[in-house]
Amino acid sequence: MAEKKKKEEELSEEDDDHFKLFGKRAWEVEYGEKCPTCGKRTDEFGFCACGSAG
């Protein structure tokens, strides 16, 4: 738990590009199934790295 807290403190909201783009930290994303097209994990909205929306 201490590692996660330290990780959160390393980047301020102003310096965190993922937070600026998506409104949450990268480690807060909940992943689900794998995309049948590219094999990458999909996020909680069903989107993946290839953009095919799994």
Residue 53's H or E segment, with its range, is none
Q: What are the tens digits of pLDDT across the range 1-52?
A: 455 555 555 667 667 888 888 888 888 888 888 888 888 889 888 888 888 7
**Using CA atoms, how far apart are residues 47 and 31, in angstroms rounded to an integer?**
10
Q: What is the pTM of this model?
A: 0.51
DSSP 16-48: -HHHHHHSS-GGGPPP-SBPTTT-PBP-TTS--
Q: Rg for the chain (alpha carbons), in Å?
A: 13
